[in-house]
A and B are shown apart, each in its own frame.
Chain A
Amino acid sequence: MSILTAEAAVMDLAVRELSFAQAIQEALAIALEADDRVFLMGEDIGVYGGAFQVTGDLVQRFGEDRVMDTPISELGGAGVAVGAALTGMRPVYEFQFSDFSTLAMEQIVNQAAKLRYMLGGSVSVPLVFRMPCGSGLGGAAQHSQSLEAWFAHVPGLKVVEPSTPHDVKGMLLAAIEDPDPVLIFEHKLLYKMKGHVPHGHYTVPLDKAEIRRRGRDLTIVASAVMVLRVLDAAEELAKLGIEAEVIDLRALRPMDTGTIIESVKRTGRLMVVYEGVKTLGIGAEVSAAIAESDAFDFLDAPIVRLGGAEAPIPYSPELEKAAVPQVPGILEAARALAKGHL
């Protein structure tokens, strides 16, 4: 072994950190490199590098045929993506803000999700929609929503919501390789978050939750940026002698209810923390899955949901924070639940 390759091997063993945005860009580059059918579409993803600088210099590396700036028409862009996927291409369409996917509902819900079924399985729609979502950047009511539960209600779509750079790379690669339409929700506050990301190609399953922390006293299920807040709260809870088990939901459709059920059978207490509006959201689905399951007999307290306020996300920074779960509130509710006060 030459000195050079030995050094490379050592470097590879060291933990390499990338930001969430860099991890996405790396996954896109790997997919573009590996498969001619893969191409990217979206508004300002080319020379500008993407509204959140996720696509960066990919247009320089892969050219305008593979990293295509599209006009300001989400419906048109999504329609082209669905059509391309039907012909065997593997498009990745970026919405600047997932809020704008409302303009493309027809293509996502009525076309992409349905065509495999309506045409008797003779076609598939292998495309990925990238969905920057969530509040925290002062985007106000039309640029801050968490609409993932809407799409998770539609059979024919797969909906995932990773919380770490490692997972977003692996899930995006899995999504691009998947034969069906996948929506990957990227919380905008995560883009700058750093974490270990392995080199090269790997995938993370699109249907598996992940236990981020083991604990015996209560189960907290969270998604996207809420996983980080819950983990912070869990550290504080541990100082009070309360051990929370933290489950990163990751997959909304299909949802990995088995992991949650097994956990609740051990802890007897469940809290669900998510940024979408509390009513009729992720928390309702997780709670119902537990109420319907074998874990019901093990529940020793009411289920608690912490979700977004029943209001559009406000512009005022203080109100914006107050509109979605934050660490102190999570801590307070988890403590009350674990201590039997609820």
Chain B
Amino acid sequence: MATEVIMPRVDMDMTTGRISYWFVEEGASVVSGQPLFEIETDKAAMEIEAPAAGILRARAPTGVSLPIGSTVGWIAAVDEVFDLPSETGNLAGEAVPRADVAVPIVEALIEAAAPVGDGLIRATPAARSLARERGLDLASATGTGPRGRIQASDVLAQVDAKQKTSRISTSAGLLNAAWLRQGTGDPIVLIHGFGADLDGWRPFLGSAQLERPVLGLDLPGHGASPLGDMLTFNAFVDATAQTLKAHGVTTPYLVGHSLGAAVATALAAGPIEARSLLLIASAGLGPKINGAFLQGFSGATDEATLAPWLRMLVADAASLPAGFVKATAKQRAEPGLAASHASVAQAIFAGGAQTFSTRAMIDRLTIPVRVVHGRDDDIIPDRHTNDLPGTVALHLFAGVGHLPHVEARDDVMRILIEHVRAAG
């Protein structure tokens, strides 16, 4: 009887592992304890030894995420005629009662499916909708399901991997930034609001055709950016300007949401020669801000306590995307991030009011400026958009709260595309 080789668990958080290298060829002989293959996890690479002596059979492919405990190969006795044990057999440690009636159900189900190699992307509906939501091109994902089918877990793995590789290393004083879209020409720069991070833009970008590269960055004390001593609005603006310059961004199309919109305005009025400015639910236009929200959000750390505050962000709670609360809670579980948000809230929105104003800066701008605001914004009132200069285009959305780019995603995307195109 052949010995099964399984994907081991080498650290506590691991749910899948990837074989990066086989030290032994298919059909070659191994001795017990000899290094058999190397696995890679998020954290480490590790050699795994052969559990028995014999001939290695049915090696799993390299570079593919495999669940812990799954079979990655077999070691057969030298003189054994090896037949790949059927998937329905009694795998190691799994007590499958013997069938009193043999029904080859699984084989029949597998045979019924279509053949491989039709050149099409094979993905489940769940994977497709998740990819749309996260702005991932399915062609870039590796399917680990049968016949290479991309499953929801594959999309999540790909999103994770992408985030890791696209993070531009943060040198001293600079903010974390990532290219959310590659391309040539002046980039669109996205600056998130209080309590968010650059990943928050991914659902907005989705699969939109933007014709420009897109750079996202994390404000100080947010995402993967340091907070340091940057506890004033001006420090935020300076750090953002330096980060853009460090990435060779000199004439971007600036887009900001809420606090990020105020930062974008200050950048355009000061250190950055922006081509255009798009302000979504902008802070800085007036003094009011929902102090209860800032306090409640800053104090909440888990899904249950965050949910009521996050629902306040949108006019219709149903428009909050599935997973938004979960993702926010997960992000805030990162050590220090909640405290860091609280410091920012205290310093920049002291006493529940906006300590900075961008109103006069907008008057001075000569680039194209558009303002998008929800009529039902409970965080920053829409009346702050009254009395803007006549050269500023104003898009007010009824039935929309503080997240127009989420609640009226397609419309706001269309506005962004037109805006960038018109600015040339």
A binds B: yes
Query: Given A236-B96, A332-B96: A341 and B103 within 8 A (CB)?
Result: no
Q: Are A326 and B103 in contact (CB under 8 A)?
A: yes
Q: How far is the CB of A130 from chain B (nearest CB, A)?
A: 30
Considering the chains assembled together, what is the distance between the CA atoms of A169 and B109 in angstroms?
A: 37
Query: In the complex, what's the smallest C-beta–C-beta distance from A141 to chain B, in angstroms?
Result: 19
Contact (Cβ within 8 A) B126 A299: yes
Kindly list chain B residues whose C-beta atoms are within 8 Å of the C-beta of A318. 101
Q: Does B95 contact A (CB under 8 A)?
A: yes
Can you pick out 8 interface pairs between chain A and chain B where the beta carbons lie within 8 Å of each other?
A240-B96, A297-B129, A299-B126, A301-B145, A318-B101, A329-B99, A340-B67, A342-B146
Shortest Cβ distance from A297 into B: residue: B129
Select one of A300, A327, A335, A341 contacting B126, CB under 8 A. Answer: A300
B125 and A342 contacting across the interface, CB-CB below 8 Å: no
State in angstroms the CA–CA spacing of A335 and B126 once bound together. Answer: 20
| A202 proximity list for chain B (CB < 8 A) | none
In angstroms, how far is the closest chain B Cβ from the Cβ of A333?
5
Over the window 197-214 of chain A, the binary record of Cβ atoms lying under 8 Å from chain B Cβ atoms (1 yes, 0 no) is 000000000000000000
- Name the distance in Å between A207's Cβ and chain B's nearest Cβ: 26
Is residue A128 within 8 Å, beta carbon to beta carbon, of the partner chain?
Answer: no
Interface majority SS on B: helix, strand, loop or mixed? loop
CB <8 Å contact, A328 and B98: yes
B129 contacts across to A, CB distance below 8 A: 297-298
Q: How far is the CA of A335 from the CA of B97 in the complex (A)?
A: 12
CB contacts under 8 Å to A, within B101-123, are 101-103, 105-106, 109-110, 113
Question: A residues within 8 A CB of B128?
Answer: 297
Q: How far is the CB of A184 from chain B (nearest CB, A)?
A: 29
Contacting residues, chain B, for A336 (C-beta < 8 A): 87-88, 106, 109
- CB of A302 within 8 A of chain B? yes
When the two chains form their complex, are residues A300 and B124 in contact, meaning their CB atoms are under 8 A apart?
Answer: yes
Q: Which residue of B lies closest to A341 (CB)?
A: B87
> Which residue in chain A gives the minimum CB-CB distance to B70?
A339
A328 with B126: CB separation less than 8 A: no
Residues on B with C-beta less than 8 A from A132 are none
List A contacts of B5 (CB < 8 A).
none
The answer to whether B80 has its CB under 8 Å from any CB of chain A is no
Q: Are A299 and B98 in contact (CB under 8 A)?
A: no
User: Is the beta-carbon distance between B97 and A328 smaller than 8 angstroms?
Assistant: yes
Question: Which of A240, A268, A298, A328 has a CB less than 8 Å from the CB of B99?
Answer: A328
Write the chain A residue with the least CB distance to B112: A302
From residue B321, how far is it (CB to closest CB) to chain A in Å? 13
CB proximity of A143 to chain B, nearest CB, Å: 21
Contacts of B67 in A (CB 8 A): 339-340
Closest to A330 in B: B105
Which residue, B94, B101, B127, has most C-beta atoms of chain A within 10 A? B101
- Residues A329 and B109 in contact, CB atoms below 8 Å apart: no
Which A residues touch B13, using CB under 8 A?
none
Q: Which residues of A contact B (CB under 8 A)?
A: 236, 239-240, 268, 296-302, 304, 306, 318, 321-322, 326-329, 331-333, 335-336, 339-342
Beyond the given pairs A301-B124, A342-B109, 15 more chain A to chain B contacts, judged by CB atoms under 8 angstroms and listed by A's residue number, are A240-B95, A268-B152, A297-B129, A299-B124, A300-B125, A300-B126, A300-B127, A321-B100, A328-B96, A328-B97, A329-B99, A331-B96, A332-B106, A340-B67, A340-B151
User: Which of A301, A332, A339 contacts B105, CB < 8 Å?
Assistant: A332
**Cβ-defined contact, A332 with B99, below 8 A:** yes
> B67-102 interface mask toward A, CB cutoff 8 Å, 1 = contact, 0 = none?
100100000000000000001100000111111111
Closest A-chain residue to B150, C-beta based?
A: A300
Asked whether, in the complex, the Cβ of A342 is within 8 Å of the Cβ of B99, the reply is no
What's the Cα separation between A296 and B128 when bound, in Å? 11
Give the most central of A296, A318, A322, A329: most B CB within 10 Å: A329
Q: How long is the Cα–Cα vector from A306 to B105 in the complex, in angstroms? A: 8
The answer on a CB contact under 8 Å between A297 and B146 is: no
Q: Are A329 and B105 in contact (CB under 8 A)?
A: yes
| Chain B nearest CB, measured from A331 CB (Å) | 7
Residues from chain B with a CB closer than 8 A to the CB of A342 are 106, 109-110, 113, 146
> Are B101 and A341 closer than 8 Å at their CB atoms?
no
A300: which of B99, B100, B106, B151 is its contact (CB, 8 Å)? B151
**In the assembled complex, which residues on chain B have CB atoms less than 8 Å from the CB atom of A240?**
94-96
Assembled-state Cα–Cα distance A99/B69 (Å): 48
Contacts A340-B146, A341-B106; is A331 near B125 (CB within 8 Å)? no
- Closest residue of B by beta carbon distance from A327: B97
Give the one of A239, A298, A304 with max B CB within 10 A: A298
Kindly supply a per-residue 1/0 record for chain B positions 403-423, scoring 1 wherever the CB is within 8 Å of any chain A CB and 0 otherwise: 000000000000000000000
- B88 CB, min distance to chain A CBs, angstroms: 5
CB distance from B135 to the nearest CB of A (A): 16
Chain A residues with CB under 8 Å of B98's CB are: 328
State in angstroms the CA–CA spacing of A302 and B111 once bound together.
13
A322 CA to B67 CA, complexed, in Å: 32
